[in-house]
């Protein structure tokens, strides 16, 4: 017997008006998904019995963390939803030179919890059973300096740097993290710091993409190149 979390219990009873015997799907956020049956409904508590395990959407073979500069308002909500739908392993919000909010202001706000709720909702919509973590925001420099073995990519416009590679030519890593800049792009200072840490700059053809479309296009392009969509 498993109890549903409070918000799911309220949704089940007040919105969907489910009663004992009704069949639902539940997932644990770590990859497990089951067909389940409602056993008891008692005020705000809903208990379900797990029946058989069901096959959730396959997770991508190559873990890919998206590290986008925090965009304004709803644009960031859409970005989180789409990144989860496209199989991002985690979302690492970045504060960059041209980001209009500070780490401290983000920490005081309710935006991170909001993105976590959006990530869960996006998993439900897209049939994904693993809920990607929304990591604590970092400055771009702190992200560059982080010690982990993932291959680091930084999305840039073709003219931004001499040393970039087209997305078609990025060979398959064991795991990767990709930073995407804010409205207005990276500053020359940021590009110089990134270059000194040995990241791979990557470009998406000659067109200028909107800041809110670029991460989705880049995720799709990389997964396609790696045959991992």
Which residues of this chain interact with a second copy, rule CB under 8 A?
57-58, 81-82, 85-87, 125-128, 166-168, 204-210, 213, 216-217, 220-221, 223-225, 227, 229
Residue 14 or 168: the one with the smaller Cβ distance to a second copy is 168
Give the nearest distance from C-beta 33 to a second copy in angstroms: 13
Structure tokens at 173: 């890593």
Residue 9 or 90: the one with the smaller Cβ distance to a second copy is 90
Alpha-carbon 39 to chain mean position: 34
Residue 23 or 125: the one with the smaller Cβ distance to a second copy is 125
Give the nearest distance from C-beta 191 to a second copy in angstroms: 20
Give the nearest distance from C-beta 115 to a second copy in angstroms: 17
Residue 91 or 167: the one with the smaller Cβ distance to a second copy is 167
Structure tokens at 108: 């005081």
Give the nearest distance from C-beta 73 to a second copy in angstroms: 15
Element (DSSP H or E) covering residue 218: helix 214-225
CA distance 228 to 218: 13
Q: How far is CA 30 from CA 5, 56, 81, 93, 128, in A?
A: 15, 11, 18, 21, 10
CA distance 225 to 9: 41
């Amino acid at each position: 017997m498993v109890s549903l979390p409070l918000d799911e219990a309220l949704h089940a009873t007040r919105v969907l008006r489910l009663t004992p015997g009704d069949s639902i799907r539940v997932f644990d956020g770590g990859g497990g998904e089951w067909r389940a049956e409602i056993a008891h409904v008692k005020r705000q508590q809903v208990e379900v019995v797990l029946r058989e395990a069901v096959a959730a959407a396959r997770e991508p073979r190559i873990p890919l963390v998206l590290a986008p500069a925090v965009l304004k308002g709803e644009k960031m909500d859409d970005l989180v939803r789409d990144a989860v739908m496209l199989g991002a392993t985690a979302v690492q919000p970045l504060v960059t030179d041209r980001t209009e909010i500070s780490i401290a202001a983000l920490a005081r706000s309710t935006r991170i919890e909001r993105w976590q709720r959006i990530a869960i909702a996006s998993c439900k919509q897209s049939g994904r059973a693993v809920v990607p973590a929304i990591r604590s925001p970092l400055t771009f420099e702190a992200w560059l300096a982080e010690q982990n073995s993932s291959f680091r990519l930084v999305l840039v416009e073709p003219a931004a740097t001499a040393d970039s590679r087209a997305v078609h030519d990025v060979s398959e890593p064991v795991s990767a993290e990709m930073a995407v800049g804010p409205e207005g792009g990276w500053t020359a200072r940021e590009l110089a710091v990134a270059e000194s840490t040995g990241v791979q700059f990557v470009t998406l053809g000659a067109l200028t993409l909107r800041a809110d479309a670029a991460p989705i296009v880049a995720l799709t392009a990389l997964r396609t190149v790696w045959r991992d969509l």
